[in-house]
């Protein structure tokens, strides 16, 4: 891993997240077995029916380890959880503590099995008596989440059973007894429930007033135009869960819909942290990324708060560790935005942006993120309809081929109710190379959305219509990457361009744009351009951010962008054909 961190090209592919977790190659899906043990955070995740594995000291810098659970004679190792068997209740560790993984196997129907590790999660051995909970004829019986329930002194399992969850309890993680079922007439039933989690949180920070949160993800469906997730707030006595709210009330976890299968870390003291798969089951492995598919959300600290209507709701906030990767902070003096767009003197593609906005009479305000070359992602507030929204209709990728092979309108607008009378909003936005996470009012609402836009689209612009807004405490903070060694002050790492490959007919032109990375170290450097064969493609003009090229002859050539001081170079292959030959 050390040698990879020294490689300036590691984790720099187009759209590759720079501070979110992603797998080096192949598919990434549900987070599994999240646990903190002996100073390490363990992140397992689904990878084609196996458990991939990584560890971290800070939830941000991850070291990839070998596959933890391969397929075996019982089939795939689907989603599940890991617990610390501190008192060796299982009898698998000779009286010492150890890690036990509880997961779903698939041969002969979905059933629950266990594996255990005596070496801090580095190697795993399957229990010889698997499965510990056989399948009794259910089609959907998967994704067990297990925890120790102190009041009853038992292990509790919550597991997905079609569009409900079932609870089991055990003294030893091996012998399980059915306890109850929840959900038949509760919440959203648009598709199968998956990846349940159950945890207790204080309300408004009061440790003497705690509620249980039951969370489930809801599979791909037409009602929500893809997959989503929901949660319930209530009571749990070690046997059964009781919903505090009306059975028909649906509480959506994340409005942006690219947040699935979220799981909390086991064995954490003092806080509850989870992360989710940043994807949607309508297009789980269809993103335009290579050689990997899928990433995780930023880890989030959870809480419960009481809203203005006296309702208890879930709060999600980015973990405090994020400030350890702050690279350069830019503060903005208070300002007003009225009828004209207000661009900020800031450019970046991996950053955190925070601000407080207030208004009186207003039709709409918003932020144009990853703005440039005619595209942007919008987030803002519609006062006329009293909605907050995240809009990626003009973010770069309009349509994606979904998992069924059909065109799907990837460019969509997501929205949630927001009372205009509040006249105030706190924004906390995390932008990475292919994602936006927006936390409103300290995480009362969250939007998680994938975006696929050119790496040279890096501007921020405010706008307001039908009124004005006052913006204060605005900060834009560049973030370090977490995969490569940090560059020194003033050092540049690479050149990125709006195009990787260009196909033109003779006589056609195209603008090529280039930026230097990391954004926070860019100074007065000059990018020089050239063509490897002027008889095929030629540079006809300079533009504000690049050059205009023209195809003048048939064949292929390279247009090269160079920065001399740091000895950086980026080559763009251009194919020039006669009319109708592409």
309-318 per-position pLDDT tens digit = 999 999 999 9
Interval 296-306 mean pLDDT: 98
On the question of pLDDT at 278 being above 90, the answer is yes
pLDDT of residue 581: 56
| Among 48, 14, 53, residue whose Cα is nearest residue 29 | 48
| Among 66, 45, 58, 51, residue whose Cα is nearest residue 1 | 66
pLDDT of residue 3: 74
Interval 291-298 mean pLDDT: 98
Domain residue extents for the chain: 20-297, 320-479, 494-577
pLDDT of residue 2: 54
pLDDT of residue 149: 98
On the question of pLDDT at 353 being above 80, the answer is yes
What sign results for the dihedral spanned by CA atoms 152, 253, 301, 34? Answer: positive
Question: Per-residue b/e over 252-262, b at no fewer than 16 CB within 10 Å?
Answer: bbbbbbbbbbb
pLDDT of residue 264: 98
CATH (one of 3.40.50.300, 2.115.10.20, 3.30.70.1520, 1.20.1250.40) for 20-297: 2.115.10.20
Q: How confident is the model at residue 4 (pLDDT cuts 50, 70, 90)?
A: confident
How many beta carbons lie within 10 A of that of residue 3, not counting itself? Answer: 7
| Among 34, 14, 134, residue whose Cα is nearest residue 74 | 134
Q: How confident is the model at residue 504 (pLDDT cuts 50, 70, 90)?
A: very high
Interval 240-247 mean pLDDT: 98
Q: How confident is the model at residue 81 (pLDDT cuts 50, 70, 90)?
A: very high
- Which sequence positions are flagged as catalytic? 30
Query: Token pair of 243, please?
Result: 């919903």
On the question of pLDDT at 580 being above 80, the answer is no
Instruction: Report CA-CA distances (Å) from 334 to 169, 197, 381, 581.
Output: 56, 42, 19, 55
On the question of pLDDT at 476 being above 80, the answer is yes
CA 95, CA 474: separation in Å to the nearest integer? 54
Q: How confident is the model at residue 152 (pLDDT cuts 50, 70, 90)?
A: very high
Interval 315-332 mean pLDDT: 98
Interval 124-141 mean pLDDT: 96
Percent of the chain's residues with pLDDT above 70: 99
pLDDT of residue 567: 95
Residues in CB range of 149: below 8 A, 6 or more apart: 155, 156, 169, 238
Average pLDDT, the chain: 96
Percent of the chain's residues with pLDDT above 90: 97
CATH (one of 2.60.40.1080, 3.40.718.10, 3.40.50.2300, 1.10.10.10) for 494-577: 2.60.40.1080
pLDDT of residue 222: 95
On the question of pLDDT at 196 being above 80, the answer is yes
> What CATH number should be reported for the domain whose range is 320-479?
2.60.120.560
Interval 555-580 mean pLDDT: 93
Interval 161-176 mean pLDDT: 98
Q: CA gyration radius for the chain?
A: 25
CA 493, CA 480: separation in Å to the nearest integer? 12
On the question of pLDDT at 1 being above 80, the answer is no
On the question of pLDDT at 339 being above 90, the answer is no
């Amino acid at each position: 891993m050390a040698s990879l961190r020294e490689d300036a090209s590691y984790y720099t592919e187009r759209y590759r997240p720079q501070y979110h977790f992603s797998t080096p190659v192949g598919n990434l899906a549900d987070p599994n077995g999240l646990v903190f043990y002996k100073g390490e955070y363990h992140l397992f995740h689904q990878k084609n029916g196996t458990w991939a594995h990584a560890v971290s000291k800070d939830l941000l810098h991850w070291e990839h380890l070998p596959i933890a659970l391969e397929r075996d004679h019982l089939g795939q190792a689907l989603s599940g959880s890991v617990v610390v068997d501190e008192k060796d209740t299982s009898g698998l560790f000779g009286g010492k503590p150890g890690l036990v993984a509880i997961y779903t196997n698939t041969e002969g129907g979905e059933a629950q099995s266990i594996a255990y590790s005596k070496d801090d999660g580095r190697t795993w051995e399957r229990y010889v008596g698997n499965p510990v909970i056989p399948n009794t004829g259910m089609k959907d019986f998967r994704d067990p989440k297990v925890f120790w329930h102190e009041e009853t002194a038992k292990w509790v399992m919550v597991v997905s059973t079609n569009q409900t969850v079932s609870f089991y309890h055990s003294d030893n993680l091996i012998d399980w007894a059915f306890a109850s079922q929840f959900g038949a007439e509760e919440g959203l039933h648009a598709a199968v429930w998956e990846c349940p989690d159950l945890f207790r949180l204080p309300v408004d920070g009061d440790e003497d007033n705690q509620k249980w949160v039951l969370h489930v993800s809801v599979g791909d469906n037409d009602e929500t135009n893809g997959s989503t997730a929901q949660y319930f707030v209530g009571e749990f006595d070690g046997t059964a869960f009781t919903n505090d709210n009306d059975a028909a009330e649906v509480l959506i976890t994340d409005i942006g819909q690219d947040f699935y299968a979220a799981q909390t870390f086991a064995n954490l003291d003092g806080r509850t942290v989870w992360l989710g798969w940043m994807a949607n089951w309508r297009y789980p492995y269809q993103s335009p990324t290579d050689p990997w598919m899928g990433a995780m959300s930023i880890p989030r600290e959870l809480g419960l708060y009481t809203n203005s209507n006296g309702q208890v709701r879930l709060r999600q906030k980015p973990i405090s560790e994020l400030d350890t990767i702050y690279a350069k902070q830019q503060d903005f003096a208070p300002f007003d935005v009225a009828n004209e767009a207000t661009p900020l003197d800031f450019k970046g593609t991996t950053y955190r942006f925070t601000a407080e906005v207030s208004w009186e009479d207003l039709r709409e305000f918003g932020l144009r993120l990853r703005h440039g070359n005619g595209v942007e992602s919008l987030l803002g507030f519609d006062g006329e309809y009293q909605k907050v929204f995240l809009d990626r209709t003009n973010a770069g990728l309009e349509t994606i081929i979904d998992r069924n092979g059909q065109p799907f309108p990837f460019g969509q607008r997501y929205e949630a109710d927001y009372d205009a009378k509040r006249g105030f909003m706190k924004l906390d936005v995390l932008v990475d190379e292919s994602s936006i996470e927006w936390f409103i009012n300290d995480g009362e609402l969250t939007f998680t959305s994938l975006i696929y836009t050119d790496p040279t689209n890096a501007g921020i612009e405010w706008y307001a219509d039908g009124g004005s807004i006052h913006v204060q405490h605005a900060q834009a903070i560049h973030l370090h990457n977490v995969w490569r060694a940090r560059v020194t002050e003033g050092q540049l790492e690479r050149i990125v361009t709006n195009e990787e490959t260009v196909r033109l007919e003779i006589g056609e032109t195209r603008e090529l744009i280039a930026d230097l990375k990391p954004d926070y170290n860019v100074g007065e450097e000059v990018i020089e351009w050239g063509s490897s064969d002027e008889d095929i493609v030629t540079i006809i003009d300079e533009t504000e951010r690049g050059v205009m090229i023209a195809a003048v002859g048939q064949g292929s050539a390279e247009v090269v962008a160079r920065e001399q001081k740091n000895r950086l170079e980026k080559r763009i292959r251009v194919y020039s054909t006669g009319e109708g030959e592409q």
